[in-house]
Amino acid sequence: MRVFLVFLLTALNYSAVGQVNLVPNGDFETLSRCPEIQDQIDAAVGWGSIYVQPLNISCLPDYCHTCNNNIPQSTLKVPLSRAFYQNPHSGNGMVQMAMYWEGLHGGLSQYHDYLQAKLTAKLKAGKRYCVSYYVNLEEGSTYAVNEIDAYFDNGTIDTSKNCEFPHIPSAPQIRSGNTVYADTMKWVKIEGSFIAVGTETHITIGNFYTDAQTVIAKQPHNAYTDNFGAVVAAYLIDDISVVESTTLADAGPNTHVGAGDSVYIGRPMASAIWCDWRVLGSNTIIGQGPGIKVKPSVATSYVVTQNLCGNITTDTVRVAVWPAGVNSVNGKEQVYWLSPNPVLQTLHLSQKVKDERAVWVSVYEATGKRVYSGNLQFADSKAVVDVSQLAAGFYFVELKDGSGNRFRLKMVKK
């Protein structure tokens, strides 16, 4: 008897992540290729810049990623660059941008870079959105500035002039204020909120003000300044998010972990919504981010605290720990196997001890998100599962038999 269980794909994919954070690839982790030279922001999936005419100066940011540490273009190496020494705020990717340039650059007297992405959905009229991103001044910068702003429009930002001029008729919705961002050690969060008019489909980050309107602060001389060879205010940007302000915190579904193992809880890192994590009943922060990995020795509940521009919400997740030891059926040791592994289409499950009672099967992504659960019937200690619709990747398969025993298997889908 062959039993087919077709998995209906409810797995998180890239577009599903963007439903909470409307910025695609806000953590700059997804790349189409490894950048080899400056100006290749298009290598970060979903990102680009504004098009500039008539000069051949495109105001393009640089994409910095750990994948390019062996290339000659040393200004892009992470973390040790000719212009900075810094790791990304999270993961392996970030962006390098000029917010001010002293003197002429390519014939332009007020050169600025502009970073742009199309949102995953149009903003809703009358809704308030919380916008945040993290910045860090490069050690190679001669100056620091106060304008690192975010502007939202329908994608028709004025590009008829070159990038030494402001490109919009009004101020950006998110303005970084009077603070001069001069920290070269720590990442600094810029955050603000605004009410959408309902036509906004794009986000553009940059300095939209003239030199006269910008606060420009001279920085102490250091060795990096000479190495960089440019008189600029250059910044690193990472973890950009645009989230409806009423979005609630999400610690994810209750999950489990094998004794001695770790498990990821919370939202995927790509959501770029930075939160504080604590053990329930404690005030000590054990981690920060959209989600974290935990390794409890006993069943533990974790609390996530999310602050969206002053709207503070919390959520709790419980992580059970599977007991160590041998699972048995009628006094005999029970073991499950799966093959082939990696699997392309059909997964075969086998029992050591024959047990035809229904087995509850759940499948989880590596992040801990459950993508399927349902009953599976074994016949002659065997069952067959159709996994052809699953996306390629790493999965955990949990089996719970009629005796309450739990089994955890690892599966790789090709």
Around 384, how many Cα atoms within 13 Å sit in the side-chain half-sphere? 8
What is the structure's pLDDT at 396? Answer: 86
Instruction: Count the Cβ atoms, other than its own, within 10 Å of residue 242.
Output: 27
Handedness of CA 371, 372, 373, 377 (dihedral sign): negative
Task: Determine contact, residues 206/113, Cβ cutoff 8 Å.
Answer: yes
For residue 211, list its beta bridge partners: none
What is the structure's pLDDT at 351? Answer: 92
Task: Give the largest Cα separation in the chain, rounded.
Answer: 83
**Tell me, what amino acid is at 327?**
N
**Tell me, what amino acid is at 272?**
A
How many residues in the chain? 414
Where do the DSSP E strands lie in 1-113?
47-48, 62-65, 93-101
Q: What pLDDT, in 10s, does the model give residues 215-272?
A: 999 998 887 777 777 789 999 999 999 999 999 999 998 887 767 777 899 998 888 8
Task: Determine contact, residues 120/203, Cβ cutoff 8 Å.
Answer: no
Evaluate if pTM is beyond 0.85: no
What is the structure's pLDDT at 15? Answer: 37
255: Cβ contacts below 8 Å, ≥ 6 apart? 263, 265, 317, 319, 320, 364, 368, 370
CA dist 139 and 223 (Å) reads 9
Q: CA torsion angle for 108, 113, 118, 122 (degrees, to 10)?
A: -90
Q: CA torsion angle for 151, 155, 161, 166 (degrees, to 10)?
A: -10
Q: What pLDDT, in 10s, does the model give residues 87-111?
A: 999 999 999 999 998 877 766 777 8
For residue 90, list its beta bridge partners: none
Handedness of CA 152, 158, 161, 167 (dihedral sign): negative
Instruction: Count the Cβ atoms, other than its own, within 10 Å of residue 106.
Output: 14
Distance of CA 349 to the CA centre of its chain: 35
User: pLDDT under 70 in the chain at which residues?
Assistant: 1-19, 51-58, 71-73, 106-107, 158-162, 165-170, 258, 322-331
**Tell me, what amino acid is at 77?**
K
CA dist 129 and 114 (Å) reads 21
